[in-house]
Amino acid sequence: MEHFILFYYILSFSSGVASTYLALLLYFQYRKKAILNFFLFLLSLSIIMLSFLLHEYENIVHIGIDMYANFIDLAGGWLLLCIMPFFSHYIVGVRITPVKKRIFIASGIVLSISIILLIIFLFIDIRVSEAIEAFILDPALIFYIGYCIFRNVSEYNSIADKTLKKGLNLFYITTLIYLPMHIAAEYSSRLNIISLPALLEILSFPTYFLIINIMSMLFSIKLHNRPAFIREKKLSGYFIEKYSITERETDIIHYLIDGLNNTEISKKLFVSIKTIENHLTSIYTKTDVKNRVQLVNLILTNQ
């Protein structure tokens, strides 16, 4: 059973390497912020999965690599915590305000210092390291997971891309199935469950990670394998050609992205509000969206 579990971990980790590599290739091809954040998110999960794999390997061969696995786990956790707030915005096309950006960067610095202190105290007083993990890192992870879920749920109706919506739906369903198994695997020994721990171990994180990576590869190919819709605050030629956007419609979309309402746009372009509304109706029809919120979201999720 131990060798089978190890093989399963290797398979799961390999899927992570494949999905991460695919995201990296797509980023180099299209240079989109959404893909970069997606790549860093997958990379952090792959690093964490590698630590799980090394721990499992240590359980079989006993060569003393647990400490290295712990350091790898910390590196993956640090990257995950730093990238999660940015990833949660870019994946649903929500702007990061300057204030939020400063908060995210400051929190990343605090987390970095915390992890450095945790590593130092591993060699001095392990109780301090455990306290840092229990009172700083674990709460931070819980907070960021909650924030990401809140951000995605609150913006769900504004998501115009059907592929993105399907991807998020599958992610939520998979996570809801995984979490109970993960909790059961973590606490099975305390509950005196003897016949299930090995099975739960297989069905928890490795399976979750494997499914997420398979979904990520499909998601990357279908959603991210295309040029950006906007670059440096200007609609790309690809978007204009794909949706047959006219020059006037391009101007209107630029103003929409800047946050202007119909009255303000009409004054900028010296036309009536009715003319702006007619242009917007045409734009919505071409891009298959319902309103300006979905239109802006469609563009910003592919910036």
What is the reported pLDDT for 120? 84
Token pair for residue 28?
Answer: 């180099």
Q: Output the CA–CA distances (angstroms, integers) from residue 278 to 205, 246, 273, 275, in the order listed.
A: 51, 13, 9, 5
| pLDDT higher than 60, residue 93 | yes
pLDDT for residue 14 is more than 90: yes
Residue type at position 197 = P
**Residue 189 predicted with pLDDT over 80:** no
Quick check: 186 pLDDT over 80? no
Once rounded to an integer, what is the mean pLDDT over residues 69-97? 86
Residue 185 reports pLDDT greater than 70 = no
Model confidence over 123-165: pLDDT tens digits? 787 787 778 877 788 788 778 878 887 887 888 788 877 788 8
Q: How far is the C-alpha of 39 from the C-alpha of 32, rounded, in Å?
A: 11
Mean per-residue pLDDT for 254-271?
Answer: 89
pLDDT at residue 283, as a whole number? 92
Q: How confident is the model at residue 184 (pLDDT cuts 50, 70, 90)?
A: low
Helix (H) or strand (E) holding 230: strand 230-231
Give the tens place of pLDDT for each residue, 22-53: 999 989 988 888 889 889 999 999 998 999 88
Which pLDDT belongs to residue 19? Answer: 92
Spatial contact of 5 and 204, defined as CB atoms under 8 Å apart: no
Q: Which domains does the chain have, with CATH numbers?
A: 2-160 (no CATH), 231-300 (1.10.10.10)
Check residue 122 and give its pLDDT: 76
Integer Cα distance of 263 and 137 in angstroms: 48
Question: Measured between alpha carbons, how far is 112 from 106 in angstroms, rounded to an integer?
Answer: 10
pLDDT of residue 200: 62
What rounded mean pLDDT belongs to the chain? 83
Q: pTM for the whole thing?
A: 0.83
* Mean pLDDT of the 248-255 span: 91
pLDDT of amino acid 194: 47
Q: Which of 154-163, 193-202, 209-218, 272-281 has the lowest mean pLDDT?
A: 193-202
Mean predicted confidence (pLDDT) in 216-236: 83
pLDDT mean over 83-99: 84
